[in-house]
Amino acid sequence: MPSLANIRNIGQYAGQEVEIQGWLYNLRESGKLLFPQFRDGTGIIQGVVVKSAVSPEVFERVRTLTQESSVRVAGKVRAEQRAPGGFEIEVSDLEVLHLVPPEQPYPITPKEHGTEFLMDHRHLWLRSVRQRAIMGVRHEIIKACRDFFDDRGFTLVDTPILTPTSCEGTTTLFEVDYFDDKAYLTQSGQLYNEAAAMAVGKTYCFGPTFRAEKSKTRRHLTEFWMVEPEVAFATLDDIMALAEELVACVVQRVLSRRRADLQALQRDVSKLEACTPPFPRLSYDEAVKILKDKGSAIEWGADFGGTDETLLSENFPKPLLVHRYPSQVKAFYMAPDPACPELALCVDVLAPEGYGEIVGGGERLADYDLLVRRIEEAKLPREPFEWYLDLRRYGTVPHSGFGMGIERVVAWVCGLEHVRETIPFPRMLYRLKP
């Protein structure tokens, strides 16, 4: 029995008979030769079928294969410089597991398709080279985040998805029936993270979060994944350093382990290689000055829009840390800057190349009385926050944390135009299918 090989590692079988199992990606015919391309989820390899070298049945079976038919292929691996990947397989036998009927062909052909068509066929589109590469990078980024925190003594504490309150403003809440009551899909695990940080010191959560975003931008999903660390006794400076280290580590990890995927995406890796610490830092005040000089209509006190973020990051080849925004544009839980109480001790990390905010966080309000006042000012109901106030009643300490949106990071690292391709099954204002 020949060994079952993965296309990714096919080189180690050069000169040997192997079996691969996968799908027909493409087929080219040239007289007495057939050139089927097979994919198996780890890569693509070109096969060669020589009419005189196989039985007439096998030749005919390959010749009539349709795109995405599933197959088991036996053959000899051969180094071939001209082949993509450097190897090809000399097919000796082929078994068809499922033949896609020629009268009902695979809907996604090598020709160009519109985005809506591809999105409607997302369950099939995922099989493409490009989408597989994106999923590979996404996987690496998620693993890198987990390793980053695990290696630094953080304890993963899972936070709930069904919650009784809002965390990031009430306008983007998804409401769900909860027996005789209402619940909301979580916008962020932060509030629960703060409880966990008081229990374990350094914690993180990593899960799906939800925002009923009515915006149709290339940066917004209604369901996205966020990794959120929270650290007891940490200040804004500490958490800025942590965010910088995390972002740098994630980029480095993809560069070192996912070169082939980045290449498949035609990503200019020199732009990523430039992202080494230290990252530039700007206060909100300085950022507003730069924006005004660049002709933005921004006025002090307003939040940055996507265009402002792009304008700002244009000046810097590395991620940019913008800190101390006016409290009025930030969430109720932000600690005020003692040096200037109308500013919040917060930070946003803006990705270069116009990819916008990838990280948001800061130092939390640790003071009971001030937090009560902020909850009132934000017109939030008091009762559902009683447990959160307990964290300030019993041994309150300074603490800080942030959230990094995985899809924004994937979009940037892969160099994608829109976040819809960064997640296997995107959820957006006008998209809930498939």
Q: Minimum distance between the CB of residue 307 and Mg ion, rounded to whole angstroms?
A: 16
Q: With respect to Mg ion, which residue has the nearer C-beta, 326 or 360?
A: 360
Q: With respect to ligand 4AD, which residue has the nearer C-beta, 5 or 239?
A: 239
Q: With respect to Mg ion, which residue has the nearer C-beta, 189 or 360?
A: 360
Closest CA to 162 of 203, 194, 209: 209
Residue 398 within binding range of Mg ion, rule CB under 5 A: no
Handedness of CA 157, 320, 280, 236 (dihedral sign): negative
Q: With respect to ligand 4AD, which residue has the nearer C-beta, 107 or 415?
A: 415
Q: With respect to ligand 4AD, which residue has the nearer C-beta, 82 or 216?
A: 216
Residue 360 within binding range of Mg ion, rule CB under 5 A: yes
Q: Minimum distance between the CB of residue 411 and ligand 4AD, rounded to whole angstroms?
A: 9
Q: How far apart are CA 59 and CA 54, in angstroms?
A: 6
Q: Minimum distance between the CB of residue 348 and ligand 4AD, rounded to whole angstroms?
A: 7
DSSP codes of every residue in 350-398: EETTTTEEEEEEEEBP--HHHHHHHHHHTT--SGGGHHHHHHHHSS---
* Token pair for 191: 């509030």
Q: With respect to Mg ion, which residue has the nearer C-beta, 43 or 189?
A: 189
Q: With respect to ligand 4AD, which residue has the nearer C-beta, 44 or 406?
A: 406
Q: Minimum distance between the CB of residue 333 and ligand 4AD, rounded to whole angstroms?
A: 8
Question: How many CB atoms are located within 10 Å of the residue 96 CB?
Answer: 16
Distances (CA, A) of 422 to 40, 138, 141, 198: 21, 7, 11, 34
Stretch binding Mg ion (CB under 5 A), from 147-155, 189-197, 301-309, 353-361:
353-361
Grouping H, G, I as helix, E, B as strand and the rest as coil, residue 14 is coil
Q: Minimum distance between the CB of residue 303 and Mg ion, rounded to whole angstroms?
A: 9
**Which of ligand 4AD, Mg ion, none binds 361 (CB below 5-8 Å, type-dependent)?**
ligand 4AD
Q: With respect to ligand 4AD, which residue has the nearer C-beta, 18 or 358?
A: 358
What lies within 8 Å, CB to CB, of 375 at 6+ separation is 332, 382, 385
Grouping H, G, I as helix, E, B as strand and the rest as coil, residue 324 is coil
Stretch binding Mg ion (CB under 5 A), from 142-150, 174-182, 195-203, 352-360:
352-360
Residue 189 within binding range of Mg ion, rule CB under 5 A: no
- Which chain residues interact with ligand 4AD by CB under 6 A? 167-168, 188, 190, 211, 213, 220-221, 224, 226, 228, 357-361, 401-403, 405, 407-408, 419
Q: Are 196 and 206 in contact (CB under 8 A)?
A: no
DSSP tally for the chain: helices H, then strands E:
13, 19
Q: Minimum distance between the CB of residue 348 and Mg ion, rounded to whole angstroms?
A: 6
Q: How far apart are CA 121 and CA 431, in angstroms?
A: 12
What lies within 8 Å, CB to CB, of 102 at 6+ separation is 64, 66
**Positions 13 through 52 that interact with Mg ion (CB under 5 A):** none
**Which of ligand 4AD, Mg ion, none binds 168 (CB below 5-8 Å, type-dependent)?**
ligand 4AD
Residue 319 within binding range of Mg ion, rule CB under 5 A: no
Question: How many CB atoms are located within 10 Å of the residue 200 CB?
Answer: 14
Contact residues: Mg ion, CB under 5 A: 360
